[in-house]
């Protein structure tokens, strides 16, 4: 009985530590890392300066508050337009913290 309890406790501790480390590393990501990891670079370029298509906006240097608002309204599916469904899916992957990090990163790119 004691061995089984130790194994279960050890497993639970390992899983808990893994979740903690995963959450910590996600929290430690910079805006540039989130921008890359979530696939934003595919359409907007590595630094938000060079978009894949001419109709996709260049995000570098935009106002952080505007970028944050835009991402949150895409996530809430409250924006209209050709790219709204795609952006709703992309923004849906982002937490509020991710959005703020990405917006701050892009606002500082010159």
Residues in the chain: 110
DSSP code for 81: S
Q: Is a pLDDT exceeding 70 seen at residue 1?
A: no
Mean pLDDT of all residues in 59-81: 97
Instruction: Write down the CATH number for the domain with range 30-108.
Output: 1.10.760.10
At 36, list the tokens: 């890359």
For residues 99 and 72, the answer to whether their CB atoms sit within 8 Å is yes
Strands (E), 21-90: none
pLDDT tens across 21-45, in order?
A: 344 445 669 999 999 999 999 999 9
């Amino acid at each position: 009985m004691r061995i089984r309890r130790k194994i279960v406790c050890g497993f639970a501790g390992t899983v808990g530590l893994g979740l903690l480390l995963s959450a910590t590393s996600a929290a430690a990501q910079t805006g540039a890392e989130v921008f890359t990891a979530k696939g934003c670079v595919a359409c907007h370029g590595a630094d938000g300066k060079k978009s894949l298509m001419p109709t996709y906006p260049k995000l570098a240097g935009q106002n952080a508050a505007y970028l944050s608002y835009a991402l949150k309204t895409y996530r809430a599916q409250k924006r209209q337009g050709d790219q709204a469904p795609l952006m709703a899916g992309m923004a849906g992957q982002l937490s509020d913290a991710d959005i703020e990090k990405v917006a701050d990163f892009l606002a500082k790119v010159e």
